[in-house]
Chain A
Amino acid sequence: MKAPWALLWALVLALVLLGQPARTATVARASLVKASPGKASLVERVLSPGGIEVWLVRDAKNPIIALDWSFRGGAATDPADRLGLAAMAAGLLDEGAGDLDAATFQDRLADHSIGLAFNASRDWFSGALLTLRENREEAFTLARMALTAPRFDADAVARIRGQLQVAVRREEADPVTVAYHALARRLFPDHPYGRPLRGTADTLAAITAGDLRGFATRRLARDGLLVTAAGDIDPAELGAAVDWIFGTLPAMAAPAAIPDALPSADVRPAVVSWPGPQSLFVQAGAGIPPGDPDWPAALLLSHILGGEGLESRLAEAVRTRRGLSYDVQCNLQSYAHADLFIVSGSTASATVGQALGLVRHTLAEVAAHGVTARELRDAQTYLIGSFPLQFTNDRAIAALLLDIRRDGYAAGFLDHRDELLRRVTLADVRRVAARLLRPDTMTTVVVGGATGPLR
């Protein structure tokens, strides 16, 4: 069935003009995502009767519904002696709720082919629900139960604790995770961002069912809630669904004051010695927050320097010309209270010094001379053209909309994104490059057998 775009637009217009009808969801504003000339996909801003705002991309071609949400406040709110609390709560919300024990709750999900998963990042506690349209009532009820009446039964707590302890121990064997933990410690020595997101065996062991109940009570509240949806559901159904799922949560979360953090610049690279012939390196310095006027230029710069593809400056210098690496890249990473510019890659232990030197040289060159007109034009067409490629399935759409909301953008961002990128000039990129690319202030971690060539 074709989506009735014209009808929806008429509805949107009517609702905007007539105001909010009582007891039904309202579509307060709509936004077009231009996927390519001639076709568009509609983002509707739905306001539930209970006052919860949801961004929806509606499509009835597949009888499925994806619903994603985040509560402000993730692992960064963990007490220092209870690190891993948010992660453990995420693992336990679907392990029994209300009058259903863990096995029964999981059977109900599986019998209806409902996917329900929770996840804790530094700044957010998130959930994702995927269901067939025909099973939506069951799905919404199970999600509601998980959020409002989690049980934290002793056997489930012990099981998930054990899984996290095992996961932490497995991460200790993964050089990539080891590198990022070491980097976080050095960038944020006195900030929650410097601590391990999933805690340690000891802090996990200290977490009690009471701690978990306290987390759910304090953190799962409507004031920090963002919700997005995609698929076969209309605004009225969606409004009722989110009120049913989230409507009885407390209005306000407990205050959690996380200070803003500037990454500390420790110019002495840290080397974690690691067996094997290969080394990996991670470097980070201050980044640029989404919403900063220079963010579009920074995104283009980061793509030209080390974005996807083999044609970036870093890939060209380190990989394509010299074969020194299978992967070398850079990206912007933003948290609620810190922004990073990160370069990473891997190379044989014997060539770590050479690879780092090439990275440094490449960064310095772009900082001094900027990029070429062709590089900028290609990056603009890539970042504009590839963006709508993500709008091809419900799960990805709901997740992407949530990303945009977490970054603090209004729905209108989707209208303006192309233009924001298109109007970036070479001078903008050069200015941002001078601000961002300061190899002397980047913190470096090497994991591997780099001690030989580095000494």
Chain B
Amino acid sequence: MGVFWRPFWGARFAALALALVVPAAAPARVFDPETFTLANGLQVVVVPNHRAPVVTQMLFYKAGAGDEPAGKSGVAHYLEHLMFRGTATVPSGAFSRQVAAHGGVENAYTNQDQTVYFQTIARDQLPLTLRLEADRMANLRIRPETAAPELAVVLNERRQRTEASPAARLREQVQAALFQAYPYARPVVGRPDEVAALTPADAQSYYMAWYAPNNAVLVVAGDISAATLRPLAEGTFGRIPARPVPDRVVARGAASAGGEDRRIELKDAQVRQPSLSRVWAAPSHGWAAAPAQVYALEVLQTILGGGATGRLYQALVVRQGLAAGVSVDYLADALGPGQFSLGVVPGPDVPVADAEAGLNAELARLLHDGVSAAEVATAIRRLQVGAIYARDSLQGPASEFGVALTTGQSVADVEAWPDRIAAVTVEDVNRALRTVLGGRGSVTALLLPDPDAPTPEEEPEDVAAAQGAAQGAIR
């Protein structure tokens, strides 16, 4: 179906990939950013990239689904949709129309820790996107006649992306089991009953609580310098007064790791190919007793994952023939707990129980023997090369800074990334490995076919009558 346009909410659990993945982590030192802060508290990061006369502008709010009040799940994402529906002076849809009419592309997304609005456009059109984005930071108007159909759009989005997908429904259950009392237990798009009950007033109060210049980060990447951007930013965002915002770390409450290991199975008629995953809560950049653990876990992820040469792929796919594919994901960029996850798709004739037994055996071996110094050295080298590839992008580096600055990190932290990765030792990796993958509180999830499910059939239908009826309803 091509690209799902507009606004999407971030998945907190990467899809199981069979293909080689180029490392995505990106050190800032290579990007050489410039930073400044406006008088009203808006943080600004400029990432010069003079490859083409083009800029990417990204505005990150330090507010996401994780900051919603109880019972109002989905309101951050609903508000993100409404941000396209007009302000005091810009009519509904005019933001998008103006950006497009000047040759720009744009979108937005909501995640647990941040809500992000972004445009890519010719450099000389940057004043337009700055003006429009600043306008909707301060002057949004939520009108009943647009808010109601937009809520229906959001419910369609939830049905299409979550309810129509057994894997997505299972992911929601996994997150709920993993985080329990912490807000990450709620889906970004919201619980269906709560989304359906959202009102314009709910969106308005979230907007008033969080959308302030002192609670946002503006990142502009591309053919621009801080000296050029600064007056433009001051003339637009700079006119918006600062407002007190809640302390979101306090508002979210404490997160806890550990507890019982859990197991969830989802059987569904749609599923043809079983798969299994196991996820642990893990230290993250925003939630770590010992920050060095995060870098050790990134190295571990590269050793275990890392495409066709990764340890898990070599063991389960190549040597033992138990799996068709494996995945190893580590989500470190979070204000709350991170996640370390393993996924296995069994081979065509392999019972899921055998694949799980293979995973357990491999995990036990790993915890017993640890990884080697040579594996650590190779992984560090590969991670650092990945950073060079990461430079070959406008939005990648912009996104890297925005996410870092909305999850408790500083520009300096991002800048120091290559050094911190290089400093990781084999002892660090094995300690982190045993703390996280050897710890309690994991959630194992199995996605299974329903043996009684009927096979879908294709049949011609006479829809002419139905279409005719619907046409009558258009006017």
The CA-CA distance from A37 to B125 in the complex, in Å, is 12
Instruction: Choose among B19, B268, B309, B470 the residue that contacts A354 (Cβ–Cβ < 8 A).
Output: B470
User: Do A309 and B470 touch across chains, with their CB atoms under 8 A apart?
Assistant: no
Instruction: Choose among B103, B456, B466 the residue that contacts A273 (Cβ–Cβ < 8 A).
Output: B456
User: Do A35 and B50 touch across chains, with their CB atoms under 8 A apart?
Assistant: no
The CA-CA distance from A62 to B50 in the complex, in Å, is 11
User: Do B105 and A389 touch across chains, with their CB atoms under 8 A apart?
Assistant: yes
Instruction: Choose among A113, A266, A323, A385 the residue that contacts B102 (Cβ–Cβ < 8 A).
Output: A385
Assess whether B434 is interfacial by the CB under 8 Å rule: no
Instruction: Choose among B121, B306, B324 the residue that contacts A162 (Cβ–Cβ < 8 A).
Output: B324
User: Do B314 and A275 touch across chains, with their CB atoms under 8 A apart?
Assistant: no
Chain B CB within 10 Å, residue with most, of A169, A201, A446, A450: A169
Assess whether B421 is interfacial by the CB under 8 Å rule: no
Chain B contacts of A357 at CB under 8 A?
A: 466-471, 473-474
Chain A CB within 10 Å, residue with most, of B101, B121, B386: B101
Assess whether B416 is interfacial by the CB under 8 Å rule: no
Which A-chain residue is minimally distant from B122 (CB atoms)? A36
User: Do B471 and A324 touch across chains, with their CB atoms under 8 A apart?
Assistant: no
The CA-CA distance from A384 to B100 in the complex, in Å, is 10
- A275-B269 CB under 8 A given contacts A159-B317, A323-B152, A324-B152: yes
The CA-CA distance from A116 to B6 in the complex, in Å, is 32
User: Do B156 and A323 touch across chains, with their CB atoms under 8 A apart?
Assistant: yes
The CA-CA distance from A107 to B308 in the complex, in Å, is 8
Assess whether A126 is interfacial by the CB under 8 Å rule: no
Assess whether A369 is interfacial by the CB under 8 Å rule: no
User: Do A381 and B467 touch across chains, with their CB atoms under 8 A apart?
Assistant: no
> Residue-by-residue, is A439-455 near B (CB-CB < 8 Å gives 1, otherwise 0)?
00000111100110111
Interface size class of A (residues with CB under 8 A): 35 or more
Assess whether B370 is interfacial by the CB under 8 Å rule: no
Using a Cβ cutoff of 8 Å, how many contacts connect chains A and B? Answer: 289
- Quote the shortest CB–CB distance from A177 to chain B (angstroms): 10
- Quote the shortest CB–CB distance from B122 to chain A (angstroms): 4
Assess whether B430 is interfacial by the CB under 8 Å rule: no
Instruction: Choose among A185, A326, A394, A453 the residue that contacts B156 (Cβ–Cβ < 8 A).
Output: A326
The CA-CA distance from A202 to B318 in the complex, in Å, is 22
The CA-CA distance from A303 to B347 in the complex, in Å, is 42
- Quote the shortest CB–CB distance from B389 to chain A (angstroms): 6
User: Do B347 and A162 touch across chains, with their CB atoms under 8 A apart?
Assistant: yes
User: Do B156 and A169 touch across chains, with their CB atoms under 8 A apart?
Assistant: no
User: Do A173 and B467 touch across chains, with their CB atoms under 8 A apart?
Assistant: no
Assess whether B104 is interfacial by the CB under 8 Å rule: yes
User: Do A41 and B456 touch across chains, with their CB atoms under 8 A apart?
Assistant: no
26 cross-chain CB contacts under 8 A: A36-B54, A36-B124, A39-B53, A64-B389, A113-B382, A113-B389, A117-B20, A162-B324, A162-B348, A166-B273, A166-B346, A166-B347, A308-B105, A309-B5, A311-B96, A320-B92, A327-B5, A329-B2, A353-B467, A360-B471, A382-B103, A385-B121, A389-B52, A389-B103, A446-B463, A454-B461
7 tightest A-B contacts by CB?
Answer: A385-B103, A323-B152, A357-B470, A353-B466, A323-B149, A113-B385, A268-B460
Given contacts A162-B348, A166-B348, 4 further A-B contacts (CB under 8 A): A132-B385, A166-B325, A311-B93, A311-B100
